[in-house]
Amino acid sequence: MSDLVGQVTERSLPQGGRLRFVHYPSSFVVDEWTRDLSLEVTTHRQAVGVPSERLPEGAVFGALYGRDGQLLPDSQRSKRGRSLAANARELPAGLTENAKRVGGQTFFGGQLNPVFGHVLLEVVARFWPDLAYGEFDRIALYASPRQIRSPRKSLTPPVLELLSAAGVPTDRLKLFGRRPVIFANVTLSTPPIVIKRCADPRLVAPYDRIAQVFQQQHEASGADALPARIYLSRSHLASGSRQALNESAIEAMALSRGFTIVHPQELPIGRQVALAHNAEIIAGCDGSAMHLAVFARPGTRLLALDSRIAVNQFMIDQARGLDAVHMLALDQVVEHHVHQWSADLDRVAAGLDLIVDGSGS
């Protein structure tokens, strides 16, 4: 392909580590994906939480409005796009007529989509402040529109275990979404990430707490040492998910270089975290499993075999201070997030050799 660069594009990171991009288009710009987002923690009296629903204007709610009826921007989902219009700036008329009143102290945990990557980056991330979450009467979560009819199904064991390890008392989790709620006092933290755009360095705080908990559990269990090199496979995922059609060949190449093949979704979340935290090298095709790198130690080497421009992964790598190689493993970027694709095995081999060698470009 004529617009592919023939060399490695590299950026050293102020937090330590570096990002290297191989075979990326010449039009690709290596950005500063870690920025100061002016994070703050605020408490609001008589704030209104509105249901998660699609209105005729196309907005997705599940956000908070102040007692003056103005949107509290920090309560919105940290993602924008065609499917997620911004909330109305003012509380829509008539929404508080059948509102429920909730007393005490509430912490707003955001909108819960139970998909693993969303849980990590949109829910867990909200708990970056070092607060005594046990002092709140409840932790409020808003079910996504798809889960609104059976919101309890969103609180899966991995979600509960991650939040518990982050210091959140899971017996105080409360899912809202069926009707408006007026909170007597609600504490709100600024999301430390804007999906597909940038992240604040404080993003890593809850993941550090989680990694410490699961690391201690692993050490106390007396289990065998964890592998130094792990390949996070997507080959056991349900058919139709985005995956490399020739991943078995990639796995064979990784095995020959000393990697252990891991299927994260088949393991308890604590084991997944411990594997990522202890690994010296993490490799895999782009996708939410690679987000486990948020639990890696700074300086850990990472190889992402990319089928697309995975900005969320770039943000994780940069905030975490990893030594990361992103190999565009095919000639044409996959545009749709569920498309299957085939990796260029020569590029895969080059990427594996580069990350195992650990040298410069």
pLDDT in tens, 161-171: 999 999 999 99
The per-residue pLDDT for 73 is: 92
Tally of CB atoms within 10 A around 238: 7
Strand order through the sheet with 41-49: 64-65, 41-49, 181-189, 100-112, 138-143, 173-176
What is the distance of C-alpha 146 from the center of its chain? Answer: 19
Q: What is the largest CA-CA distance in the chain?
A: 64
Residue 255 confidence class, pLDDT cut points 50, 70, 90 = very high
Amino acid at 238: A
Q: DSSP assignment of 214-267, as one string?
A: HHHHHHHHTPPPPPSEEEE--TTSPTTSS-BTTHHHHHHHHHTTTPEEE-GGGS
**pLDDT of 147 above 70:** no
Sign of dihedral through CA atoms 92, 95, 97, 101? Answer: negative
CATH fold, domain 8-35+202-357, is: Rossmann fold (3.40.50)
Strand, coil or helix: 72: coil
Which range is least confidently modeled, 5-19, 237-251, 253-267, 340-354?
5-19
- Mean pLDDT of the residues in the chain: 88
Residue 1 confidence class, pLDDT cut points 50, 70, 90 = very low
Distance CA 123, CA 163 (A): 9
Q: Which residue has the higher pLDDT, 94 or 280?
A: 280
Among 94-103, 229-238, 269-278, 325-334, the range of highest mean pLDDT: 269-278
**pLDDT of 149 above 70:** no
**pLDDT of 3 above 50:** no
Q: Which of 64, 73, 22 is nearest to 45 (CA)?
A: 64
Which residues, other chains included, contact 35 with Cβ-Cβ below 8 Å and sequence gap of 6+? 198, 199, 200
pLDDT exceeding 70 applies to what percent of the chain? Answer: 87
Among 83-87, 115-119, 267-271, the range of highest mean pLDDT: 267-271
The per-residue pLDDT for 27 is: 82
Amino acid at 317: D
Strand, coil or helix: 274: helix
Each domain of the chain, given as residue ranges in start order, spans: 8-35+202-357, 41-191
Which range is least confidently modeled, 32-46, 53-67, 277-291?
53-67
Distance CA 352, CA 40 (A): 41
**pLDDT of 258 above 50:** yes
Mean pLDDT over 262-276 rounds to 97
**pLDDT of 20 above 80:** yes
Distance CA 225, CA 99 (A): 53
Distance CA 260, CA 265 (A): 15
Tell me the two tokens of residue 344: 């260029």
The per-residue pLDDT for 22 is: 92
Angle of helix 205-221 relative to helix 157-165, nearest 10 degrees, comes to 100
**pLDDT of 208 above 70:** yes
Q: Which residue has the higher pLDDT, 243 or 280?
A: 280
Q: Which residue has the higher pLDDT, 338 or 210?
A: 210
**pLDDT of 112 above 50:** yes
The per-residue pLDDT for 320 is: 94
